[in-house]
């Protein structure tokens, strides 16, 4: 498995082909407050990188956590992609139009009540981004191969009291967990040869 995952960092065209074949073009959200996030991938000399944000410490939900750019659907948003792109522009100033690769499976986040549509996109060069709102404390742009190399699993107690085994990514000085880690793990499975 380690050798397969190592190849993910280097074979960008193969990785994009696998994603286009394996991701859902359409998505139905579970019950909850509709929202979308942008799982933005781009190449560099390490293979594929992903864009993540660190949420500010003074927010109502998910304080300080690592997340994808995204947020609530607005009535004027045409679809989940429109939400993800609007939120990415508002939060990190993304102006590039990503190639749409598809959706990861939708998630429901019990703590906040959000039903999340993960929209996976690709741009051909590192995007020019920077935090633009008080919601975003910083940006992370880790190579996927580095994340896969540090993936761990831990038991997490849910609000209902159930115990779930969940992925966690202790990358550099950050701990990527929760819904973001679940989406990253699902992306990892979709990218495997």
In whole angstroms, what is the distance from residue 124 CA to residue 57 CA? Answer: 32
CATH number for the domain including 169?
3.90.79.10
| Res. 46: pLDDT tops 90 | no
Query: Which range in 43-47, 62-66, 128-132, 140-144 is most confidently predicted, on average pLDDT?
Result: 140-144
Q: How far apart are CA 58 and CA 56, in angstroms?
A: 6
3-state secondary structure at position 82? helix
pLDDT category, 25, cuts 50, 70, 90? confident
Measure the N-to-C terminal CA separation of the chain; round to a whole number of Å: 10
pLDDT value at position 10?
Answer: 61
Does residue 87 have a pLDDT over 60? yes
**Separation between Cα atoms, residue 108 and residue 113, nearest integer Å:** 7
Q: What does the pLDDT average to over 131-155?
A: 91
What is the span of the domain harbouring residue 129? 2-191
Compare 101 and 46 and report the one with higher pLDDT. 101
Residue 59 clears pLDDT 80, i.e. is over it? no
Distance CA 40, CA 69 (A): 9
The DSSP string of 104-170 is: PPPEEETTTTEEEEEEEEE-SS-------STTEEEEE--BHHHHHHH-EEEEEE-TTS-EEEEEEEE
Residues 97-116 have a mean pLDDT of 92
> 62 or 128: which carries more pLDDT confidence?
128
Domain count, the chain: 1
């Amino acid at each position: 498995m380690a050798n397969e995952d190592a190849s993910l960092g280097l074979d960008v065209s193969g990785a994009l082909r696998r994603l286009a074949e394996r991701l859902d073009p359409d998505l139905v959200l579970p019950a909850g407050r509709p929202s979308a996030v942008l799982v933005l991938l781009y190449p560099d000399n390490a293979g594929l990188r992903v864009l993540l944000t660190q949420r500010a410490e003074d927010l109502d939900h998910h304080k300080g956590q690592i997340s994808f750019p995204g947020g609530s659907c607005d009535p004027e948003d045409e679809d989940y992609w429109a939400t993800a792109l609007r939120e990415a522009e508002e939060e990190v100033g993304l102006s590039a139009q990503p190639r749409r690769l598809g959706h990861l499976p939708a998630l429901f986040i019990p703590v906040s009540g959000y039903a999340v549509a993960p929209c996976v996109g690709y741009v051909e060069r590192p995007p020019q981004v920077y935090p633009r709102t008080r919601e975003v404390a910083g940006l992370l742009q880790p190579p996927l191969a580095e994340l896969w190399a540090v993936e761990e699993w831990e038991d997490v107690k849910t609000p209902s009291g159930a115990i779930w085994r969940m992925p966690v990514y202790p990358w550099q000085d950050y701990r990527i967990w929760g819904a973001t880690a679940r989406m990253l793990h699902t992306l990892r499975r979709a990218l495997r040869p």
